[in-house]
Structures are given as structure tokens and as C-alpha cells.
Structure 1
Amino acid sequence: MPAQQGSINIQGTSAFVAIALPVSALKQGDQNGDGKLSPLEASVYQSAIAQQVGERVQLFDGTQAGTIDFIQINAESEDKHSQENIGNTNDGARFFLVLIKFSFTTAPQALEIKANFFGKRTGEQQLTIKAIRDAEQEIVILRPGHLQHRFFREPHQVLVDFINTGLHHILTGWDHLAFLLSIVAVAATWRHMLLVTTAFTLAHSATFILSLMDVIPTSTQWYEPAIAASIVFMASLNLIKKELPSNFRLIAVFFCGLFHGLGFASSISDMVINSHHRWWSLIGFNLGIELGQLLFIGLCISVFWMLKHLQNEQEKTPLYYRGANAFALVIGVYFLFQF
């Protein structure tokens, strides 16, 4: 079982869990404090570790908590085939395998997991869990801000859930918001603003769908810096080149939107994958993105309209437009230097 991944296999009234958990999350068990759990430590602290896991990894069927029949803790060397590790009871690994059997009074119909077992090291802040029930499969990634998940929901529940997920993603994504700010913080007509936002929507929707259909491969090594560069590019154009042909701006926004669509696709792949209702998941997430985008753009336009009437600015490019673009530029440069 790969580190920080697990599976839940439902058979009748039982659920069998296998999951690899980080040693750094243990409060008791790592006796020598080396950040690893050896077979000897796992044997000595079997009961204490099992208790910690039982308290922090739970299954429910609606409001009914699953009864734990047994928990087995397994530890091994990070390189169990190495000659130097054979017979070395002090060696261990940064992750340990847990096998759990849960029982319910009836076959679980509303299976829900609650897990709060995250490590302290970089990259140990998530758990990827696959639930299997007959021909149905669903994968979820749990994080400190998302500890619970209900599997095998109805299509309308999946749609609403992913609309909320998409809405939250866009409204908390400073990179996407900064780009949206750079395309609305211009002195332009309503018709031009509608065309620009439509171009951005069409572009990111196209790459979002094509990426999740595996037509376009995604790699964070290049598209995340490209998103940051798109913010710098658009904000710089607004600050340096005040007069731009409408068609040029439309093409530039559309081209930049292609990269943002790959970012959205990566986000939904990293967060939750509902294979049984995959299209409901994708449609809901994209609708949430569009709703959040409309809310933010509407807020920006309203603020600019109020500032225009309060200050009675006569300049073609008012100061608050320049300030908004400068702010977007700073955010873009910050994200660009993170890579």
C-alpha cells in the first residue's frame, strides 16, 4: 500500500480498511524518536497505536458508527530487501500499514469516513482513500480542512457538493482572482467586458474538460508558472500599454485562460474523484467555478462603478484601475517566484 493511501472494501455488513499512515502523526509508538516505526516498536506498542488509529479513523453508515472488530498494525523497513536491514529490529519506515475490519448491523448504504491522521512532514497532510462497493468505486482525498466524506451519494447530491467545491476553489484561489482582476480593471465598455470574460470562460472550460478526459496531459511543473506569468502579463499590459486593440486583448485573455483551465482540472483531480457520477462531478465543479467568477467580477465592477461616481474621475484610466492592476501584478510576481 503506497504511503498515505488506503482502500475500503465493503462486503455485506462489513467494511475492510487497509491504509498506510504516517509515523509522525503518532503520539506514542516511535520509542526512539527517529521518525520511523520498526517491527519491534510496532509489536511493543501494538495496542497503543491501534487505540490511536481507532480514535482517529472512523466509518459511519449515516449516524451509525461502525464497530471495530480488529485492528492490525504492520511495520517494515523502508528497504526490506536490503542486506543491512535483515534482522535489524531497530530499523523502520516513516509509514506503517493498518488493517481494520468494521461491522455494521446492516449493509452500509450511506458510508462515510472521518479521518484525522495527518503527519507533520511536508507532503503528509493528505490521505487518498478508495471505496469499493460491488461495481462502484469512488476516490476521495482528505485534508486537515476536509476530514469527512460520504461515499456513493445520489447524482443531485454530487452536483450540489461539487458546485460548492468549485465555488470555494475560485473564491479562495488568489492566482485566479488576480487574473480576473487584471481583465476587469480596465476602462472599457460593457460589451468589451462581456466579450473578454466570455473568452476566458470558453478557454478554461475547454482545457478543463479536455484535461479530465485525458486528451491533454497536465503537469504542475509548467502550467502553474504559466498561470502566474499570465497574471504578470495582463497586469503589465494594463499598466504599460494603456491603449490596446480589442482583438488583441481578447486573444491574450483566451490564450491565458487555457492555462487556468489546466489548473482547475488539476485541482478537482487532487481533491475528489467520483468515478460513478464522474460527469455530475465535472459539471458541478465547473458550474461552481463560473458562479464564483461571476460573483467576483460583479463585485469588482460594482466597486469600480462606485469609485467612479464618488471621485468623479475624468481620466481615461482612473487611479483605482492602476492600483488594482498594480496589486494583481504584485500577486503574479509573488506566485511566479514560488517556482
Structure 2
Amino acid sequence: MSLRGLFCVCLALGLWAPAQAHLMAAQRGTLNLVGSGGFVVMAIAVDALRRVDDDGDGRLSAAELGRHAPAIEAQVRQGLQLLDAQGPRPLQALMLTLSPDDRSPQAPAAELVVMGRFALPDAADGPLRLAFTLFGPQASGLEQRITVTRGSQRQVLLFAPGRAPQAVLPSAQTVLIEQAVEGARHILVGPDHLLFLALMLASASSAGWRRLAATLTAFTAGHALTLALCVLAGVRASSVWVEPAIALTLIGLAGLDLQGRRRGRSLSLPLHGGLVFACALVHGLALGNAFQVGGGPEGDSGGLLWVALLGFNLGIEATQLLIAFGLLGLAHALRRVVPLARQPRLASALKQGGWVLSLLSLGLGGLWLVQRL
């Protein structure tokens, strides 16, 4: 593929990503904190419950509900918990109701409505956390949206498999710190993102500080844009295609870098910046999928969403900058400590390291692409 063709593919991929994003379906629930009680109403997928669907049709009939009510109650109490410093609070007066299709009210239901009351702790027992782990294997059951209210305060919590218990109506400081840590963690545990960042820095730093600054700016602007769309506009993109697309951005950037090194000249600054920006749009969609946060203790539905977004972005950007300046500082330190007579050998070693990094990125990107398709 030609240089122009490869760039066009990557640019189209980045621009196509937001257009294909869609709102992800979510099951819903509410938790209303009033006085000494927390009143919960929750829709739970039947396939999230174990050994209760006798005929295996993915639905629950009235007869099956009657036979397995004690087992269902035990699973609900295990998978839906309101916790304080002492542990789970009691879930009392538990009621189970089938939620059939409106067109067939007597038919078995794919969802079960759970109602009950948590006994709230005293203030001395510390802040509350909510845990939800009742997820089925189907895509529609992989996210649970729970709205928490107390008077004029409102918070929306999003739960997915593996999500830790979340703070209920937290302070702004708690939200900022927790999301900054989450943003940093997401960068550090993502080998594809780290490799893309290292490759981007290597290809840009060889052409001077101006290109490096422009590259970092384009990458930050790109992923911040799609991250903001995911958080503020509720846009979600399926990881089924986002994850392979990230591997493609790595392959595209590595291929362009190898071509530039072979020809001895780099892309123009606008072209290189546009490529990085397009790739960053895709990376931002992955960050948006990772961003799971509720609103804060405000009267409006937005709550502390802006604070959470700020914290998540700060964690991401601070981690990326630390990595970038760490790598550049290491290269600068090597140039300072290596004797002048050996500087040409060092420059040759760094140049060869750039080749190795691009080839490694190309190989791993291809491997990840195959694994994710």
C-alpha cells in the first residue's frame, strides 16, 4: 500500500469511529435513600441467575419463580449489596416480580423486578458503597445503570462485570481523586496504548521539538474529544470494533514510520498531526468505554460529571506526560554521559532502536488485530 493510501485508511478509520458510535442499552434500577431506609427497585436479567431456568428458554415463568424463590433471593442478596465500614447492610422485605412483555402479560419473562429496603447505618458507620454483580452472558445484560437519590441529590452509577463497589453520593474531592487514579491505571495497564505512545514519541522526537509538541497536542486533542463525547453526550462505541481499530492505528503508524525511516524523510507536520489526531479519536472511544462514573451529590442529573471527567483526563494526561518526559529525559541523559567520541555510535544505536520499535509495533499490532477480530 502506498504512503498516501495508508494514511487515508487511518484517517478514515478515525473519522468513521464517532459516526458509528451508538448508545449502549443498559438495565436500570433505583436506590432512594430516605431516613433510615434505602428503597431499591431493580430490573435483573433472568440469565444472570443460576440454576433457576428449568426449561433453558432464557426466561422465567411464574412456576419457576415459585419453585426457586429462596434461591433467587439468596443470589440477589449476594449480588446487590449496600456496604458501609462494617460490611453489607441487611436487605429487608425483598419482593420478586416478573416483568413480561406487555403484549403477553402471562408469558415467561426475560427480566425480574426486585424490590426491597436496605437498613441504613448511622453516620458514624462511614460512607456508603454500592455493589452490583448480577450480570448475564448476553450483551444486554453487561451494563447496569442505577440512579441513587436522597432528597434533591441525584447520582447515576454504571456497573459492568468486574466493576468494584462504587461510592454513594461522594464528595467532589473523592470523585476527582478516584477518577484521576482510574485514568492513570487505564494507561498503565494498556500495552497497546503504551506502545502507540512510545512509537509516536520516537517518530516525532527524531524530527525536533516542534514536531514533538505538535504530536502530543494532536494526540491529546483527539482522544479528549471522543472521550468527552462518550461522557457528556452518552455516546458509546462497541469494543467489538474499537479494540481491533486500536490495533489498526498501531499498524498504520508503524508502517508510516518504517517508510519514513527507509526513505530518510518524515511526513509533513500537518499530515503527521492529522494522522495522530485521527488515531487518537479511536483511542478516545476506548477511554470512553473505560470511563464509568456516576454523578455527584448535586440536585441536577449532571452532578459531578464534569469533575469526574476532569479527574479522568488529568490521570490520563499526567501519566502520558510522565512517560513521554521520562523516555525523552533518558535519551537526553545518555547523550550527556556518553563521551563525545562515542556520540555517533549512540546516535546510531538510537536510530536502530527506532527501527526495532516500529517493527515490534507492526508485529504486535498485527497479532492483536487477529486476536480481536
TM-score normalised over the length of structure 1: 0.80
Q: Greater share of helix residues, 1 or 2?
A: 2
Q: CA deviation at 1:133?
A: 1.6
Does the 8 Å CA contact 2:27/2:140 hold for their aligned counterparts?
Answer: no
Matched residue SS, 2:59: coil
Q: Distance in 2 between matches of 1:261 and 1:25?
A: 30
User: Which residues of structure 2 form unaligned runs of 5+?
Assistant: 1-24, 296-301
Q: State how far apart, in whole Å, the 2-side matches of 1:23 and 1:50 are.
A: 13
Matching residue of 1:244: 266
Deviations 1:222-281 (A, max 9, x none): 86665444322211111112221451323432343344334433432xx11323212210
Greater length-normalized contact order (CA 8 Å, ≥ 6 residues apart)? 2
Contact 1:159 1:280 in 2 (8 A): yes
Query: In the superposition, relative to structure 1, how do residues 307 and 42 fare at CA in structure 2: closer, same or farther (>3 Å)?
Result: farther
1:272 aligns with one of 273, 293, 296: 293
Once residues 326 and 144 of structure 1 are traced to their aligned partners in structure 2, the CA distance between those partners, rounded to angstroms, is: 35
Amino acid across the alignment from 1:103: A
Cα distance in 2 between the residues matched to 1:194 and 1:55: 51
RMSD of the alignment, in Å? 3.5
Q: How many residue pairs align between the two structures?
A: 328
Partner of 1:165: 182
**Using the alignment, how far apart are the partners of 2:277 and 2:148 within structure 1?**
38
Pairwise CA distance, 1:159: 0.5
Alignment of 1:173-184 (within 5 A): 173-184=190-201
**Pairing 1:139-218 to 2, within 5 Å after superposition:** 139-186=156-203, 187-209=206-228, 212-214=231-233
Matches within 5 A, 1:25-174: 25-63=48-86, 65-77=88-100, 79=101, 81-82=103-104, 86=106, 92-104=108-120, 106=122, 110-122=127-139, 124-174=141-191
Question: 2:360 is matched with which residue?
Answer: 327
- Kept in 2, the 8 Å contact 1:192–1:246? The answer is no
Letter in structure 2 aligned against 1:111: L
Partner of 2:47: 24
- Aligned partner of 1:297 among 313, 317, 324: 324
| Structure 1 residue matching 2:348: 3-state secondary structure | coil
* TM-score normalised by length of structure 2: 0.74
Structure 1 unpaired stretches of 5+? none
Please tell me the residue identity of whatever aligns with 1:67: P
- Partner deviation per Cα, 1:10-50 (whole Å, 9 max, x = no partner): 12221111122233343443334444322111112212211
Higher alpha-carbon deviation: 280-289 or 234-243: 234-243
Distance 1:80-1:58 versus aligned 2 partners, 3 A rule = same
Pairwise CA distance, 1:316: 8.2
Partners of 1:194 and 1:111 lie apart in 2 by 44
Which string of whole-angstrom CA distances, capped at 9 and with x for unpartnered residues, describes residues 117-165 of structure 1?
2334455444332211222222222234323111111111110001011
223, 234, 237: which one aligns with 2:253 = 234
Kindly state the Cα deviation for residue 321 of structure 1 after the two structures are TM-superposed.
1.5
Task: Provide, for residues 181-239 of structure 1, a one-character-per-residue CA deviation record: whole Å limited to 9, x for no partner.
Answer: 2212333445543342233223333443455443x966448866654443222111111
